C-alpha cells in the first residue's frame, strides 16, 4: 500500500462544524485503522426500529473532526430517512477520513475497507453498512471479508448490487409529486430543471428528465461531465451559478449543505427536489424556503429509494413488483408532506420530521 500526496482539490473537501449540543447517538466508535492508518468513525444514532443501516463514506477532510461532524449528522439523518420510509431499520453511518493532501492507491483503499469491516464487526450487529460517497459495491465486497453486516454487494458476490437506480427512481417519484403539488400537473415535459451534480444519481435523473421532454441546465465540479450535457442537449453552467438560473426546479445532487440562506435568497425556482443528503446548511433555511414560496422536498424522504432497495431486495420473499411499488410510494409520501405543510402552515421539514418521529415514538 502507498499513500501519496494528492493534487489540491478544494471543491471536493468539506468542512463540517461539530454540533454544540451533546449528540443523542447510542454509540459512536472512533478508531485508527491498523492497516490503513486512517481514522474510521462509525456513528450509530438509533436502533429503536431495528439494526441501524447507513452507507460508508470514503472522503477527504481537512481535519478528522470534520469527518466526525459528518458522521454525526448523516447517521441522525439516516434514522429519520429509514423511519419515514417505513423500514424496520435504525440509523447509522460510517466515515473513513482521508486527510487533506493524501490520495489512496488501490491497495490503500482495500486496507481502508478491511479496517472498516473490523470496526463494523466490533459493534456486534448494531449497524449494517453499505456503499455511499467514495465507495462502491466492489469495495463493500472487501468489507464483507471482515464482517457479515454489510449489504449492497455485487451481484456476482451474491449481493443486490448498487442502489443508484433505486435512489434515482425514488427522487424522480418525489419530483413528479412535487410538480403535481406546485403546478397542478406531474408532467415534466417542457419544464426547466437545473441539475447540480451529475454523479451516479444526478446523471440518472438528468437522463430520466430528458427522456420525458424536460429542458435541462446541468453542472458538476468535474468538467468531464460536460459530455453528458452534450449527449442530452442540456445547457452547461458553472457550479457556482447553478442556483441562480431561472427555472422551475432546482435539483441538488452533490454534497450536503448546498442550501444556505444566501443561496435560497438567490434561487429563481418554484421547487427544490434533489438527491443530495443534508441539503439544508441550517435548520432555519427551511423557514426561508417557505417564506419565499419554494416547495422543498425533504432530502431524507425523497432520496430514500436506495436504502429501501438495499433493505427489501435483501429480504426473502419480497418481489420485484413489491419493491418497485415501495420506491414509487416515495412520491405519495412527498405529496402528503407537501400537503401537510401547507395545511398546518409549517415547513416541509417539520411535516416530514413529524412523520418520522411518530414511527420512532411508537417503536414500529
Task: Quote the cell numbers at residue 333.
Answer: 409520501
User: Cα–Cα–Cα angle for 337, 339, 342, nearest 5°?
Assistant: 110
Task: Quote the cell numbers at residue 331.
Answer: 412520491
Contacts of 290 (CB under 8 A, 6+ apart): 341, 346, 347, 348
The total number of residues written for the chain in this structure: 364
Q: What distance, in Å, lies between the first and last C-alpha atoms of the chain?
A: 45
* DSSP track, 199-224: SHHHHHHHHHHHHTT-EEEEE-SSGG
Other CB atoms within 10 A of residue 46 CB = 22
CA distance 39 to 344: 44
Closest CA to 192 of 173, 177, 212: 212
Which one is catalytic: 45, 60, 89, 93?
Answer: 93
The reply to whether 81 belongs to the active site is no
Q: Beta-strand (E) ranges in 68-136?
A: 90-99, 102-104, 127-128
Greatest alpha-carbon pair distance for the chain in Å reads 57
CA distance 274 to 296: 9
Centroid of chain to Cα 329: 18
Spatial contact of 118 and 81, defined as CB atoms under 8 Å apart: no
Active-site residue list: 93
Amino acid at each position: 500500500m502507498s499513500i501519496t500526496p494528492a493534487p489540491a482539490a478544494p471543491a471536493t473537501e468539506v468542512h463540517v462544524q461539530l454540533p454544540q449540543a451533546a449528540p443523542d447517538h447510542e454509540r459512536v466508535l472512533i478508531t485508527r485503522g491498523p492497516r490503513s492508518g486512517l481514522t474510521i468513525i462509525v456513528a450509530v444514532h438509533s436502533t429503536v426500529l431495528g439494526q441501524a443501516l447507513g452507507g460508508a463514506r470514503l472522503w477527504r477532510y481537512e481535519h478528522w473532526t470534520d469527518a466526525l461532524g459528518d458522521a454525526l449528522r448523516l447517521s441522525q439523518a439516516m434514522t429519520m430517512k429509514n423511519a419515514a420510509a417505513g423500514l424496520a431499520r435504525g440509523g447509522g453511518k460510517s466515515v473513513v477520513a482521508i486527510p487533506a493532501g493524501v490520495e489512496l492507491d488501490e491497495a490503500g483503499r482495500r486496507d481502508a475497507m478491511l479496517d472498516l469491516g473490523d470496526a463494523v464487526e466490533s459493534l456486534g450487529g448494531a449497524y449494517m453498512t453499505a456503499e455511499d460517497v467514495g465507495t462502491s459495491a466492489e469495495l463493500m465486497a472487501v468489507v464483507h471479508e471482515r464482517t457479515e453486516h454489510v449489504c449492497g454487494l455485487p451481484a456476482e458476490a451474491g449481493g443486490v448490487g448498487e442502489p443508484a437506480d433505486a435512489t434515482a427512481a425514488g427522487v424522480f417519484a418525489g419530483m413528479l409529486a412535487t410538480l403535481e403539488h406546485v403546478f397542478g400537473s406531474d408532467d415534466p415535459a417542457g419544464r426547466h430543471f437545473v441539475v447540480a451534480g451529475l454523479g451516479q444519481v444526478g446523471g440518472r435523473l438528468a437522463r430520466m428528465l430528458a427522456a420525458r421532454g424536460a429542458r435541462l441546465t446541468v453542472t458538476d465540479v468535474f468538467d468531464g461531465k460536460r459530455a453528458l450535457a452534450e449527449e442530452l442537449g442540456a445547457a452547461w453552467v458553472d457550479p457556482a451559478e447553478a442556483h441562480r438560473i431561472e427555472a422551475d426546479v432546482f435539483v441538488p445532487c452533490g454534497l450536503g449543505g448546498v442550501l444556505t440562506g444566501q443561496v435560497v435568497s438567490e434561487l429563481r425556482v418554484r421547487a427544490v427536489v434533489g438527491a443530495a443528503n443534508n441539503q439544508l446548511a441550517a435548520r432555519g433555511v427551511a423557514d426561508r424556503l417557505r417564506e419565499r414560496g419554494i416547495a422543498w422536498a425533504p432530502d431524507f424522504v425523497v432520496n430514500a429509494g436506495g436504502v429501501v432497495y438495499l433493505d427489501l431486495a435483501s429480504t426473502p420473499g419480497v418481489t420485484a413488483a413489491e419493491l418497485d411499488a415501495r420506491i414509487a410510494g416515495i412520491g405519495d409520501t412527498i405529496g402528503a408532506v407537501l400537503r401537510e405543510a401547507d395545511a398546518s402552515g409549517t415547513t416541509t421539514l417539520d411535516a416530514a420530521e413529524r412523520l418520522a418521529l411518530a414511527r420512532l415514538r411508537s417503536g414500529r
